[in-house]
Chains A and B, each alone.
Chain A
Amino acid sequence: GAVVSQHPSWVICKSGTSVKIECRSLDFQATTMFWYRQFPKQSLMLMATSNEGSKATYEQGVEKDKFLINHASLTLSTLTVTSAHPEDSSFYICSAPGTGGYENTEAFFGQGTRLTVV
């Protein structure tokens, strides 16, 4: 199946710094990429939807100036956590929709990035 590669798998940063997370579709083109956040023992929560060549759509309550999303090419979407604070520590996951047409609803997920802000 299709592969979505997410890097880094984990990162520790100091409070106030910015961190960039990359998500690449390795063998297919992803015009759309979804970004999720997952806190310990909780489910995945959609943060935003990135679309190649246009502005991202953010879910209610997600600060677009803090979580910068760029989808400059059909194989790369990035999420930058700006001025990170300890409360931003979480597991971030990207996902691309399936490519098999209407009946194929399998989505492809990255490996996730564990962000720890100290």
Chain B
Amino acid sequence: LAKTTQPISMDSYEGQEVNITCSHNNIATNDYITWYQQFPSQGPRFIIQGYKTKVTNEVASLFIPADRKSSTLSLPRVSLSDTAVYYCLVNNAGNMLTFGGGTRLMVKP
């Protein structure tokens, strides 16, 4: 299973754009990149997934370069409620998810 590396923590302010980069040098051809958000004492929540290039949904964008060895989750105009831990994972459909350390995002007023 591909291992991921993310910054341990990040600080931001309300209204700013936050970009969290994840490194996954050993990603396999069949692997997709998926990001999850977790609040304290809750299960992780799916944010976005992608295979290559750029994916955008109502909450985030995911940028994946051609070599797919990294990805960047972009959260536009964060608010205090975006304070959470963000996990980057690579996996095939149906496979168990291997969680790395995640990035603890703190949004300040």
| Residue ranges of A at the interface with B (Cβ–Cβ < 8 Å) | 1, 4, 6, 32, 34, 36, 43-46, 49, 91, 93, 95, 97-98, 100-112, 114
Residue from A4, A93, A97 within 8 A of B94 (CB atoms): A97
State how many angstroms separate the Cβ of B93 from the closest Cβ of chain A: 5
Identify whether the interface residues of B are mostly helix, strand, loop, or mixed: loop
Beta-carbon contact of A107 and B97 below 8 Å: yes
| Residue ranges of B at the interface with A (Cβ–Cβ < 8 Å) | 32, 34, 41-46, 49, 51, 87, 91-102
Residues of B within 8 A of A104 (CB): 93
User: Nearest residue in B to A98 (C-beta to C-beta)?
Assistant: B93
Residues of A within 8 A of B98 (CB): 46
User: Nearest residue in B to A59 (C-beta to C-beta)?
Assistant: B96
A45 to B98, CA, bound (A): 8
State how many angstroms separate the Cβ of B55 from the closest Cβ of chain A: 12
Residues of A within 8 A of B102 (CB): 43
